[in-house]
Structure 1
Amino acid sequence: MKRLAAPLIALALIAPLGACGFSPLYAERNGSTVTNDLMQLDVSAPNDELGREIKYSLLDLLSPTGNPPADALYRVEVAPVLYSEDVAIERDAEVTRKNVALLVPFRLVKTDTKETLLRSTSRARSSYNRVVSEYANIVAADAARERIAKAAANDIKLQLSIYFDRLSKSGS
């Protein structure tokens, strides 16, 4: 009897969740999907190493080919700012750990009207150890920068997905 009670209790607790209004973010609605909307995006970023890293990470996430459409309906403009801070400092003033933070203000612009549809910010943080080898420090700093650029790109994609999902639910 006890073996039968546990599944019945679990079923009774789960049953009300069907009416809670939950729907998958990337599900098809009204003949369209968030994925299709994301594929209509181009990305504009500064022409420096960090800007390119974010731009191409974001394009890889938005489109299966990693290329923007020729006639993009929307453009995402990003303006990344990178900060670093010394965290662990020895008595001889040698830094043994660094934090790297990335702040990426971005906006979604409709390409034909130049209207700003969404304005938001993405943040990412990483850290790395500094060692005696300067080469190892450069590689570790580059790897940390890559990690936070990809994390920011993922966050931007998520924010854009939520925007397009809400737009499709509102019927606009």
Structure 2
Amino acid sequence: MSSSDLSAFRRALAPALKGGLLAFALVLLSACGFQPLYGDKSYGAGATEKLSEVDIGPIADREGQKLRNLLIDRFYPSSRPSSTRYRLEISLTASEQKLALQKDASAVRAQLNVMAPYRLIDTTNGAVVFKSNSRTIISYNVLEQHYAGVLTVENAYDRALLDISNDITTRIAMHLGRQP
């Protein structure tokens, strides 16, 4: 077999080999127990339907209201449910830490630490079915101009709350997805 025949054979064999590897990977992936989080499952409702069974309780302060609104947007894609099986209680704490101090002790960089311990309560019996803590750290520049500095801190809070809402939504959906 000449080298040109061999290269033609390899070119003809490459698509079949790639297809075979893809099929093999899909078989391995299905055997590992992988299931889509938001897809329908044969044994129960998907995460989207189960998230709509959760009532999100009020959260103190303005940042808590923003977090609650973000969670409502994620938990109830179409409309809010009339009756729920679970209640989600969240408390929110934030602290700022100055970083990168200059010689005059003024900071040019800061870090925002936001913690949100939460628990999921079954409303039928009052039992806590899931309890966790979500935490995020956001860094931002400390600006000399007052208005720009206020907007920078507000933006840091908004980014932190978005991270926390994504984390809480994912963890609650995973927990409820395990329920039969």
In the other structure, the counterpart of 1:154 is 166
Which runs of structure 2 are paired with 1:22-171 in the superposition (5 Å)? 22-29=34-41, 30=43, 32-65=45-78, 68-167=80-179, 171=180
Q: Deviations over 1:70-122 (max 9, x none)?
A: 32211111111112111111111111111112111111111121111101111
- Counterpart amino acid of 1:145? Y
Q: Deviations over 1:1-59 (max 9, x none)?
A: 23234333333333233232322111112352211110111112432112111111101
Quote the Cα distance in structure 2 between the aligned partners of 1:46 and 1:59.
12
Q: Which of 1 and 2 has greater Rg?
A: 2
Quote the Cα distance in structure 1 between the aligned partners of 2:59 and 2:36.
34
TM-score (norm 2): 0.85
Q: Which runs of 5+ in 2 are unaligned?
A: 1-8
Quote the Cα distance in structure 2 between the aligned partners of 1:51 and 1:104.
10
Quote the Cα distance in structure 2 between the aligned partners of 1:146 and 1:106.
19
Q: Structure 1's 7 and 83: CA in aligned 2 closer, same or farther, altered over 3 A?
A: farther
Shift of 1:135: 1.1
Contact 1:38–1:62 (CA<8 Å) still a contact in 2? yes
Q: Structure 1's 7 and 114: CA in aligned 2 closer, same or farther, altered over 3 A?
A: same
Q: Structure 1's 12 and 142: CA in aligned 2 closer, same or farther, altered over 3 A?
A: same
Contact 2:142–2:149 (CA<8 Å) still a contact in 1? yes
Identity level (%): 28
Q: Which runs of 5+ in 1 are unaligned?
A: none
TM-score (norm 1): 0.88
In the other structure, the counterpart of 1:9 is 17
Quote the Cα distance in structure 1 between the aligned partners of 2:12 and 2:36.
31
Quote the Cα distance in structure 2 between the aligned partners of 1:111 and 1:5.
60
**Superposed CA RMSD:** 1.7
In the other structure, the counterpart of 2:3 is none
Contact 1:45–1:79 (CA<8 Å) still a contact in 2? no
